Structure 1
Amino acid sequence: MSTPLQPLITKAGLAAIWRADNTGVAAEITHIVVGTSGYTPANTQTALRTQVAKYAISDGQRLSDTLIHVTAVADDAKAYWAREVGFLLSDGTLLAVWSHPTEALTYKSANAELLLAYDLSLTALPANSVTITSTGAGLNLTLSAELAALATAQISSMLRDQKNQDALDSQDKLNQLQGTQIANLLERIKAVELRQDSDRDGLLTAIAANATAVISLQNLFSKTTLGV
């Protein structure tokens, strides 16, 4: 994603454009410089106030007569808040500068690559008076960043789906275990009931047998008493 900038054209930059125009060529932007000071730029500047890094333009394209797109790769080990940005011509002239008293453009962490991508509005300059000299790597880097973002989103989605599936599988296993435990419990209850029924039947049989024996003894006792 590009950050649109309306940089301030410096007097030195205008003079360089005029010199190039008189020779029939366009001035060439070759580098982006980055600094850490925040302020309101002045057209008398010839350098950033607190420059911390300088990067070659990796890619660029003309979007219109006065709008160009430039990218550069911050691939060093520095860490800083980018609060001022300048654009250098091939002879080292500061063509334009952007800064803000309170707002930062971005943060670069140590030992991490950062793609600097800017759309520059150069309405203060003659149409087509500025061109871009690049290393030719920017478009691939930009595409790689987009593909990396897409891949990251896809991987995140796959991980979420896998976690959901794992949760469902775990719930299914838990349900199966609970079902097995319930079935075992029912079998045990049934066995206990069968034993209880068997014990009750045995007890009734024993009671009946005892009652029969008692009756028989009573009958025998009665006959003996009567002398039968």
Structure 2
Amino acid sequence: MSTPLQPVITKAGLAAIWRADNSGLAAEISHVVLGTSGYTPNAEQKSLKAQTAKYPISGGERLGNSQLHLTAVADGDRAFWVREVGFLLSDGTLLAVWSHPTEALAYKPAGTDLLLAYDLSLAALPANSVTIVSGATGLNLTLAAPLAAQASALIAEQLRGLQQQDRLDDQATRQRIAGEQIANLIERMKAAEQRQSTDRDGLLSATVSNAAAVIALQKLVIENMHGA
């Protein structure tokens, strides 16, 4: 969303535009400056009263002969209330300034980028006498919200994928543990069966031995009886 501004054109800015116009060129806005002082601006200003930061123009477009749409990104770790805004030409001249004695335009949080988007009315200047110099990034802030929404959706989808993968990994771990427990149980059952088989063979051998001893004893008794 853009903020409409009706800034005060400075005398220095007007002189720079006149010089450029006489050379057949358009003056170029290259930077936006922000400050913390609130006041009623005047045409005699050559700078902001309490300039805090300076940022290059990231992008923009001409909305008409006397209206420009400008975008920029206020970054950095400094936090401050934006109470004055200036627009600099490529030669450093303060072209226009906006401020208000009691109202702040925005707040710049520490460590968080502030997206700046201004519709700048330059009705006091000759038509098409000012153009925009944007940085290499060419940021279009009108796309910021859709891109942020797409990024959020992508991150959410990736998170769901990771969570699903975690569940699959957990299930695989559970299956592996269950398989190990089943294999261990099978080994224990085999060992028990082996012990039972060994015990059965031992019992059978003992029974056979006892039977043989009984038969031998009976034979001995019979032989003694007949011998007598």
Quickly name the TM-score band, shorter chain normalised. Answer: 0.5 to 0.7
Q: 1:6 to 1:141 in 2, by over 3 A?
A: closer
* TM-score under structure 1 length normalisation: 0.64
Q: Is the 8 A contact 1:73 1:115 kept in 2?
A: yes
Q: 2:5 — aligned with what?
A: 5
Q: The residue matched to 1:102 in structure 2 has which SS?
A: coil
Q: 1:186 — aligned with what?
A: none
Deviation, 1:142, is: 3.6
Q: 1:153 to 1:42 in 2, by over 3 A?
A: farther
Q: Percent same amino acid among aligned pairs?
A: 72
Q: 1:29 to 1:109 in 2, by over 3 A?
A: same
Instruction: Name structure 2 gaps, 5 residues minimum.
Output: 157-228
| More moved, 147-156 vs 27-36 | 147-156
Q: Is the 8 A contact 1:41 1:99 kept in 2?
A: yes
Q: How far apart in 2 are the matches of 1:11 and 1:107?
A: 29
Q: The residue matched to 1:63 in structure 2 has which SS?
A: strand
Q: Is residue 78 of structure 1 aligned with residue 78 of structure 2? A: yes
Instruction: Name structure 1 gaps, 5 residues minimum.
Output: 157-228
Q: 1:15 — aligned with what?
A: 15
What CA deviation, in whole Å up to 9, does each residue of 1:168-221 have, x standing for no partner?
xxxxxxxxxxxxxxxxxxxxxxxxxxxxxxxxxxxxxxxxxxxxxxxxxxxxxx
AA in 1 matched with 2:114: L
Q: How far apart in 1 are the matches of 2:18 and 2:107?
A: 35
What CA deviation, in whole Å up to 9, does each residue of 1:33-57 have, x standing for no partner?
0000000001000000000000000
Q: How many equivalent pairs are there?
A: 156
Aligned ranges for residues 3-82 of structure 1 at < 5 Å?
3-82=3-82
AA in 2 matched with 1:35: G
Q: 2:121 — aligned with what?
A: 121
Q: 1:5 to 1:44 in 2, by over 3 A?
A: same
Q: 1:12 to 1:76 in 2, by over 3 A?
A: same
Deviation, 1:146, is: 3.4
Q: Which runs of 4+ in 1 moved over 2 A?
A: 136-142, 144-147, 149-156
* TM-score under structure 2 length normalisation: 0.64
AA in 1 matched with 2:50: T
CA RMSD of aligned residues (A): 2.0
Q: Is the 8 A contact 2:72 2:139 kept in 1?
A: no
